[in-house]
Amino acid sequence: MVVYSFYIFDRHAECIYKRRWLPRPTSIVGKSRSEAAPTGLGQTVRSSDDDSKLVFGTVFSLRNMVRKLGGEDDNFVSFTTSQYKLHYYETPTNTKFVMLTDLKSPSMRIALQQIYINLFVEYVVKNPLSPTEHPGGVGVNNELFEESLEQFVVCVI
């Protein structure tokens, strides 16, 4: 399976982390770019900046719709189009994890949960230097988190 991109949104609807991967066939081309991306996460790549807003708008609307119909404890897990699959995981603190993969991927709910528990909480939340809020879109700029996420996506998935 292929992971296309990954987003984290905080409780203020701010995109605090964004990462795009290119599919493996073009991995050589992709590497050089993904190496460049982390340095100025999110805000440097202009074309994907709007994307993150659209992604947030989508998951936010769908989440509200699902809650209205299924009840407050219902949550949407994923949706698919003819081209990709979007996985969604929301923590009790309203932080939202979104991952776009190809259609063959199984449910990524557990994987997203692990990213939250094992990576985000460990390296970002517990990091005393990391800001708790991200006003103005500072974003998660944390090498340890970056690297382990990269590893997680490459190895586990």
> Does residue 153 touch another protein according to CB under 8 A?
no
Could you tell me which stretch among 64-72, 89-97, 115-123, 127-135 binds another protein (CB under 8 A)?
A: 64-72
Count Cβ neighbours within 10 Å for each residue of 82-92 and write b for 16 or more, e otherwise.
Answer: eeebbbbbbbe
8 is a site residue for another protein (CB under 8 A)? no
Between 74 and 147, CB nearer to another protein: 74
CB of 119 to another protein, least distance (A): 22
| Binding test (CB under 8 A) with another protein, winner from 43, 45, 114, 138 | 45
Instruction: Detail the DSSP E strand segments found in 91-128.
Output: 96-101
In terms of Cβ atoms closer than 10 Å to its own Cβ (0-12, 13-18, 19+), residue 45 is middle
